[in-house]
């Protein structure tokens, strides 16, 4: 049998490798000039007037953004059950409560109608998640936030690059947007993340809290007339800074972001064409003129599928192909289920989608033969 085809693999080239070697030789291993360059490049990528704060994960970035947005004990933050636990756990870090809502089954994204019906006097923010790289209905999310005075922090872990009404995610009217550069994401630094915002106060707070609550304003002020060892701690901050070794990868990955997206979109189109007529619900597409990042290609088995989802994934593995499931909704995990007394009946769309969902391999290093192998295996199992 041919070699095992994993569900995802990073795409690291010589430019990334040489940049890492350059960092190792330079003596700058932790946050330094490469991190600054990656931040500048990233801000330029997203748009005019954007500030970018590099961190060691999207989880860290979401924590910083929510803290900077003023979320604290007793607050409620509305998000989707159909996400990774990081989206909601950061709300708990701050002593606030995530309020999980169901998805629109046609997109896997948070259902704006359910945001409205979940509002309480404690609601302070919304975290939309652009599932698989398809934008949420941000017009609706931002309208609800404006009407009720709520903060919006976008979880864009899947959404580089994604557009909404022709505008890049990250450049919309949210308070902050957070990207992930985890090894399986559309661009990677191994581990890493980025917070972007147009709000200079929010950016400043994220920078302070990213590194032990050390105030840069105070630091800069003192470096001019105090010895260089002097600094001031103004809050109990975190240790969330990105290293220059990671940023070395990010600088070159970012340059390839559009080429990666084109390759992913082409692979998704190939899957779509090959799977027409099979007992599958194919992934939703972006509206005409908009861009889907295609971080994931998630199919759902139809009611008339000859196999269960579990059996489908087993049979794919027997054929040497790795699949995954995105996501096990939060309401099914013991911590969230028990802490908030959640039951599947409250999330019928997410529950049904989860029970049938399979993420097929989709990564830029896949060759056409790899795609053909996946297509042949899916056809064999389902016909
Ligand atoms: C991967 C992921 C995260 C966390 O990203 P890290 O960089 O690993 O912290 C958050 N939200 C979603 C939806 C993700 O898929």
Q: Which pLDDT does position 2 carry in this prediction?
A: 74
Q: Is the CB of 59 under 6 A from ligand 1?
A: yes
What does the CA dihedral 275, 278, 279, 285 come to, rounded to 10 degrees?
30
The SS3 call for residue 127 is strand
Mutation pick for ligand 1 pocket among 10, 57, 58, 178 (CB with most ligand atoms within 8 Å): 58
Residue 271 contacts residue 59 (beta carbons within 8 Å): no
Q: Is the CB of 359 under 6 A from ligand 1?
A: no
pLDDT at residue 171 is higher than 90:
yes
> Which string of DSSP letters, residue by residue, matches 131-142?
GGGPPP-HHHHH
Structure tokens at 146: 């404006």
Region 214-227: mean pLDDT is 63
- Cβ neighbors of 201 (< 8 A, separation 6 or more) are 68
pLDDT at residue 264 is higher than 60:
yes
Active site residues: 185
Q: Which pLDDT does position 164 carry in this prediction?
A: 98
Q: Is the CB of 109 under 6 A from ligand 1?
A: no
pLDDT interval class at 97 (50, 70, 90):
very high
What's the CA gap between 27 and 121, in Å, rounded?
52
Q: Is the CB of 180 under 6 A from ligand 1?
A: yes
State which ligand 1 atom lies nearest to the alpha carbon of 185.
1
What's the CA gap between 144 and 141, in Å, rounded?
5
Q: Is the CB of 197 under 6 A from ligand 1?
A: no
pLDDT at residue 225 is higher than 90:
no
pLDDT at residue 145 is higher than 90:
yes
| Tokens 């027409």 -> residue | 276
Region 312-335: mean pLDDT is 98
Q: Which pLDDT does position 228 carry in this prediction?
A: 77
State which ligand 1 atom lies nearest to the alpha carbon of 61.
9
What letter does residue 2 receive in the DSSP assignment? P
Closest by alpha carbon to 232, among 253, 252, 216, 211? 216
Q: For the chain, list the domains and their CATH numbers.
A: 14-255 (3.40.640.10), 257-382 (3.90.1150.10)
């Amino acid at each position: 049998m041919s070699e095992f085809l994993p569900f995802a693999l990073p795409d690291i080239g010589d430019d990334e490798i040489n940049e890492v070697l350059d960092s190792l030789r330079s003596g700058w291993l932790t946050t330094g000039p490469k991190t600054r360059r990656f931040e500048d490049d990233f801000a330029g990528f997203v748009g005019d007037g954007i500030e970018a704060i590099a961190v060691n994960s999207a989880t860290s970035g979401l924590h910083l953004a929510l803290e900077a947005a003023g979320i604290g004990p007793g607050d409620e933050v509305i998000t989707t059950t159909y996400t990774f636990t990081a989206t909601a756990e950061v709300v708990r870090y701050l002593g606030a409560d995530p309020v999980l809502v169901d998805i629109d089954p046609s997109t896997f994204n948070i259902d704006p109608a359910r945001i409205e019906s979940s509002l309480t006097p404690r609601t302070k923010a919304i975290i939309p998640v652009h599932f698989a790289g398809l934008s949420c209905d941000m017009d609706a999310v931002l309208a609800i936030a404006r009407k009720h005075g709520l903060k919006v922090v976008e979880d864009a872990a899947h959404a580089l690059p994604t557009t909404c009404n022709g505008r890049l995610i990250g450049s919309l009217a949210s308070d902050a947007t957070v990207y992930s550069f985890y090894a399986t994401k559309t661009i990677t630094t191994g581990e890493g993340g980025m917070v972007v915002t147009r709000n200079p106060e929010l950016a400043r707070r994220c920078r302070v809290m990213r590194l032990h609550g050390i105030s840069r304003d105070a630091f800069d002020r003192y470096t001019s007339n105090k010895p260089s060892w002097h600094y001031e701690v103004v809050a109990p901050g975190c240790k969330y800074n990105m290293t220059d070794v990671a940023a070395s990868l990010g600088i070159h990955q970012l340059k390839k972001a559009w080429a990666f997206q084109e390759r992913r979109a082409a692979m998704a189109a190939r899957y779509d064409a090959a799977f027409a007529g099979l007992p599958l619900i194919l992934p939703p597409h972006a509206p005409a003129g908009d861009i889907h990042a295609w971080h994931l290609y998630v199919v759902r088995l139809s009611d008339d599928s000859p196999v269960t989802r579990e059996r489908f994934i087993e049979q794919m593995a027997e054929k040497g192909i790795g699949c995954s499931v995105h996501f096990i909704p939060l309401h099914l995990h013991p911590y969230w289920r028990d802490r908030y007394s959640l039951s599947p009946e409250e999330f019928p769309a997410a529950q049904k989608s989860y029970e049938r969902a399979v993420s097929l391999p989709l990564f830029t290093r896949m060759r056409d033969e790899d795609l053909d192998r996946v297509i042949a295996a899916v056809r064999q199992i389902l016909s």
